[in-house]
Amino acid sequence: MYKPFEITDNIYYVGVNDRSKHLFESMWPLPLGVSYNSYVIEDEKTVLIDTVDICYSDVFFRKIVSLLGDKPIDYLVVNHMEPDHSGSIELLVSRYPNIQIVGNKRSVDMLNGYYGITKNVIQVEDLEEINLGKYTLQFYMTPMVHWPETMMTYVKENRVVFSGDAFGTFGTIDGGVLDTQLRTEKYWDEMIRYYSNIVGKFGSPVQTALKKLSGVEIDIICSTHGPVWTKEGSAAEVVSLYDKLSRYDADNGLVIAYGSMYGHTEELAETIARAAAENGLNDVVLHNVAKSHVSDIIRDVFKYKGLIIGSPTYNNKLYPEVESLVSSLQNRNLKGRLFGCFGGFTWSDASAKNLLAFANEMEFDLIADPVVIRQGMLSSVKEAAQNLGMTMASKLK
């Protein structure tokens, strides 16, 4: 096997690409795959940063051996215990029985809970350091980015941060490892989809982590998913995107997400979209919730400031897929959206009422009264829909 790529002096990439799995966390489609990143630091002490999903442990160990031969590994640093990164720990310990595992109070507890590992464990505190010889590791506790035990590890001497899930993205790393060796365009939408669906609920902890790191000089970001981001490449852009997303800030565009059984609610969606476009709004995205994957809708809702949701009334409630979307947005503590809604019914109006309750709970800025269609489209309803699209466009411009 080829020798693993050297990111910078004595720091190597030993992660793997997963182009087989269909659904990350058994939920999120992976059209561009995903990488599970792991890194080796070779110094007087040899360190491994995180492991990989157990499905790829064979490739992972072959990479490590091609780099280190039969040299022992002194430390495993566990930045994150989610099994896409901790899944190979048990096998690692069986291959390297003397390895010492470095984690924090929460991860030490999870090491026991997941894998029954209690021996050779070193518990570190916030900002504690471990000297490796030439290099020093410093640990930054960053809880809830994305789990309570998450932390980052900083190598002071060459300004490299191993950031866990932060700054990660879906998408395998094909050939190159550094952002400067890859076409990065394909990652931006996938990064927003990754952030919004996986980490999106934790905007406030991400902000806390970013503030904590703001005084730290960083030249290279090694996250657990996606390319290694460099100062010469896109590191600043990535940090800025994570900052924006975790503040729930967004671009001036509009997402219209709707369900429609016989086309009436869809006709309203089209009318609203057309009116928004006629009033100068170019960034308009329509999602039929029965077809678009919810992860794509959530990505676009995080991307754009305007949100209009439409739903037929079904069993005196929201259309099930709309209800599921609304619940997903509630779970992610989405904030700061300009909001409108529209609903359809035949004999009992429930959808618009439910969407209004959702808007109130989320403290969205309701830009107009709901547009309600009873059975077929009347000219007054069409006019109200056009007004909604026009108002949204004027607010977003």
String marking each residue 104-123 x if it binds ligand FEO according to CB under 6 A:
--------------------
Pick from 278, 328, 341, 279: which is nearest to 302 by CA?
A: 328
Out of 63, 193, 225, 303, which residue is the one contacting ligand FEO (CB under 6 A)? 225
**Shortest Å, Cβ 49 to ligand FEO:** 13
**Shortest Å, Cβ 56 to ligand FEO:** 13
Sign of the Cα torsion 116, 122, 123, 124 reads: negative
Contact of 123 with 184, CB cutoff 8 Å: no
Contact of 13 with 5, CB cutoff 8 Å: yes
**Shortest Å, Cβ 370 to ligand FEO:** 37
189 Cα distance to chain centroid: 11
Instruction: Give φ, ψ of 268 to 5 degrees.
Output: -65, -45
8/21 Cα distance (integer angstroms): 30
String marking each residue 138-167 x if it binds ligand FEO according to CB under 6 A:
--------x------------------x--
If one asks whether residue 84 binds ligand FEO (CB under 6 A), the answer comes out as yes
211/215 Cα distance (integer angstroms): 8
User: What's 247-262 look like in SS3?
Assistant: CCCCEEEEEEEECCCC
- Interface region with ligand FEO, contact rule CB under 6 A, candidates 81-89, 100-108, 266-274, 379-387: 81-89
If one asks whether residue 224 binds ligand FEO (CB under 6 A), the answer comes out as yes
In terms of CB distance, is 55 or 377 closer to ligand FEO?
A: 55
If one asks whether residue 264 binds ligand FEO (CB under 6 A), the answer comes out as no
**Shortest Å, Cβ 167 to ligand FEO:** 12
Instruction: Give φ, ψ of 279 to 5 degrees.
Output: -100, 25
151/102 Cα distance (integer angstroms): 11
- Interface region with ligand FEO, contact rule CB under 6 A, candidates 13-21, 79-87, 105-113, 254-262: 79-87
Sign of the Cα torsion 208, 210, 214, 220 reads: positive
**Shortest Å, Cβ 225 to ligand FEO:** 6
- Contact residues toward ligand FEO (CB under 6 A) are 80, 82, 84-85, 146, 165, 224-225
